[in-house]
Amino acid sequence: MTTENNKTLFTPVNIITGIFLAIGLVITVLRFTKGLGYVTNLDDNNPWGIWISFDLLCGVALAAGGYTTSSACYLFGLKKYHSAVRPAILTAFLGYALVVFALHYDVGRPYRLPYPIFVSPGTTSLLYEVGLCVFLYVTVLAIEFSPAAFEWLGMKKLRNTVTKLTLALTVFGVVLSTLHQSSLGALYVAVPSKIHPLWYSPYLAILFFVSSIPAGLSMVIFEGTLAHKPWHHMMDKTHLDEHEGVILGFARGASISLAAYFCVKLVAVAYDNNWAYLATGWGAWYLLEVLGFVALPSMLYAIGSREKNIKLIKWTSALTVFGIILNRFNVSIVAFNWQLPSSQRYFPSWMEIGISIFVVTVGVTVYRFIVSRMPIFFEHPEYKDAH
Amino acid sequence: MEFFVYHDYMMFTKSIVYVLMGLFVVGFWGLWAFMTSRDEEIHKMPEHHKE
Amino acid sequence: MKRRQFLGLLGAAGITATLGTEAQAASGHTFDGYPNAKGVLFDSTRCIGCRKCEAACNKVNKLPAPAKPFDDLKVLDTERRTDAKAYTVVNKYAGKKGPAFRKIQCNHCMEPACASVCFVRAFTKNPDGSVTYDASLCVGCRYCMVACPFNIPAYEYNNPLTPRVMKCTMCHDQIQKGELSAPGCVTICPKEALVYGKRKDLIEVARERIKRNPERYQDHVYGEQEMGGTNWLYLSGEKFKDIGLREDLGNVSVPTMTSGPLSVVPMVAALWPALLGGVWAMNKRKDKVAEEEQKAAVKAAKAEVKAEAAAKLAKELDKAEKDKAQAIEREVKRALEEAAAAQKEEAAAKKDEEGA
């Protein structure tokens, strides 16, 4: 997106970006002048819609690549993943920043978002826990990302000071991630009467946390695949050399963590003896989610990793990402209020969808700006081996 | 202090818990910094001074 | 030292004071609610669906005028719920004994879900039994609406910047200020279907009515145990689920349900740093050992090479010495031979001289 070398600003991608941004800005004005009722299909029975299900729940789950990659490299000592850390941290940072951004649309009084932390903490609420952790984690991610920016800006001393904090930040990041990934699931523990028994469980916290691991690993593979062609010219030799190793290694981790998640899902059904529900229509939908989007990708990752089939792994990562999104939607929208008559059920309005697309577009645009300029896919020549 | 409502009791205990969590973070960091401070000194020392 | 001791004692005393003189473990202690908490008993068998309670509530809380007036009874033909302009509605249900009516409003739970899940403490369970909402703190996250098992809280979705959650207050403010002696709906009911009093007493009243008239009532006081107990209680002739009160909610309150996940939170904060630090240390040590082994291997290799080179050098030197010695020997031999030959020549030449 540069104007150097006579490159035009009006590439097809930029035009589409511009359209989505423009639509988003219009809806933004409507949201804050006419209210949530005008822009969304939310109502008193369905107070949470896709801005929670997608922007918050999926956004956080899919940004899990940050803590999984940085802990693999810095805590578990797997140095061969080092080139994947910066892209993963960037994705996570943008992901969480967008979650906070999107929340400004959903809550009734966004100007009071600091209240739970700085004015009146509702410490009995798991949403308080989510808010506190997300606030702290966005800060951690910003600091973890900052060396790339400092290198780009030539601020050597600042960059070196911050880099010393990597280990502490990584540990703190894993603590925070564990807490908020699980707490997002725990939000729904308070609502057994409204969620279908196959998706409700007192174990929801564990289900959400465990599934965030393959979610993060798969996003790193998936996003790495998407970025490989357009940003190939920004990738240095280390990054390109390590690329396949990252994919193979993460495929293994994803296979095992998906298998673990599958086991936890079964335990959750067994906990309240809910097996009979599997024979219903809802049961068929549940089996589709668990067999098609948890068990199947676990197997495919295993096969792909064993046969070193990169193509299979890449497709499986897309399958897994979709499966995580499906699960979050199932818990929060599809299986939520399952007992209400269909006339009272929720479906998003086009303006809600428009804002969700707008938020993603903003994220992708910032991502493109950063990776085309800052040392994300390559090591800055002045700081080689300085890790 | 008598609590009549479980919610009020939870509010009280969980508030203490969050303060404790903050102390844990600071405490762990402090312990770690203390433990590894000599390593840093050694790291900065010239080669021939190390044992 | 003395000052530190004093401060230490002060700190210890302070902590002990805040933690309470008696440990009130949740496991042993029961939480029975405020002893003088008030509530309302609604007797569905007395309700005629006149909607006067809705009108009184609207007036007493200065709520906006409704789309259809309160004396329009055709409204009862559709099932309604509370909304941003109505803290309470009456619904008509088809009962086995004829039409039955139920007044819907906040049940002022003993352990309210809304208060438990609110991340900004905007809800309070008051000693008078009511659950009230503080619009000056609310961020508008609407988790209370998600969590309420009775689907009571409503939201001002059409307010762009200052939307509020709307729900029945049991006329807490008005009663506190002395403007009312009982909630507006209770006072206006022409059939005395609503009774305001201490929750304890209301349960006795309810039980008494059931005992005196067993064919008239279901043998259950709804709200006595449901969701941990509510301060708004119900008597009914029809089955409770037939007048829209769910019978599958269970007796566990939301605070109790969420205390499990909540208690894991500090455990993670306490344990993860130690575990992760341990993992890091193990890997660092593994790397260090690997590094040292590599160093040792390099050193050994170097030494080996050095030794080999030294051996080679020694061999070469040896050989050179030997060669030199041999060369000297050869030279000496040659010199001797030359000397001998020269001597022989000299002798021959002398002989020739003597013969001539």
Q: Quick: pLDDT tens for C119-150.
A: 999 999 999 999 999 999 999 999 999 999 99
**For residue C43, is it left (φ>0), alpha (ψ between -120 and 50) or beta?**
beta
A123 and B15 within 8 Å at the Cβ level: the answer is: yes
Which chain C residues are closer than 8 Å to A189 by Cβ?
257-258, 260-261
CATH number of A13-378: 1.20.1630.10
Per-residue confidence band for C30, with pLDDT thresholds at 50, 70 and 90: confident
Q: Are strands C98-104 and C123-125 parallel, antiparallel or unpaired?
A: unpaired
B-contacting chains (≥3 CB pairs under 8 Å)? A, C
A126 and C262 within 8 Å at the Cβ level: the answer is: yes
A172 and B18 within 8 Å at the Cβ level: the answer is: no
Distance CA C195, CA A35 (A): 39
Shortest CA distance from B4: residue in chain C: C33
Residue B39 pLDDT greater than 90, yes or no: no
A108-145: buried (b, 16+ CB within 10 Å) or exposed (e) per residue? bbbebbebbeeebbbbbbbbbbbbbbbbbbbebbebbb
Choose from A33, A36, A123, A129 for mutation: most chain C CBs within 10 A: A36
User: What percent of chain A is modeled with pLDDT above 90?
Assistant: 84
Q: A168 CB near a chain B CB, below 8 Å? A: yes
Shortest CA distance from A164: residue in chain B: B40
Shortest CA distance from A128: residue in chain C: C119
Per-residue confidence band for C13, with pLDDT thresholds at 50, 70 and 90: very low
Q: C295 CB near a chain A CB, below 8 Å? A: no
Q: What per-residue confidence (pLDDT) applies to B46?
A: 62
> Phi and psi of C96, rounded to 5°?
-70, -30
Looking at mean pLDDT, say which of B29-33, C94-98, C192-196, C312-316 comes out highest: C192-196
Q: What per-residue confidence (pLDDT) applies to A382?
A: 81
C254 and A190 within 8 Å at the Cβ level: the answer is: yes
Q: Which amino acid is at C44?
A: S
Three-class secondary structure assignment of A100-158: HHHHHHHCCCHHHCCHHHHCCCCCCCHHHHHHHHHHHHHHHHHHHHHHHHHHHHCCHHH
User: What percent of chain C is modeled with pLDDT above 70?
Assistant: 92
Distance CA A67, CA C148 (A): 34
pLDDT digits (tens, 9 = 90+) for C159-181: 999 999 999 999 999 999 999 99
pTM of the model: 0.87
Distance CA C55, CA C70 (A): 6
Instruction: Give this complex's ipTM.
Output: 0.93
Q: Which of A124, A168, A175 sits opposite B11 (nearest CB)?
A: A124
Residue C19 pLDDT greater than 80, yes or no: no
Residue C64 neighbours by CB distance under 10 Å: 9
Distance CA A59, CA A55 (A): 5
Residue C139 neighbours by CB distance under 10 Å: 25
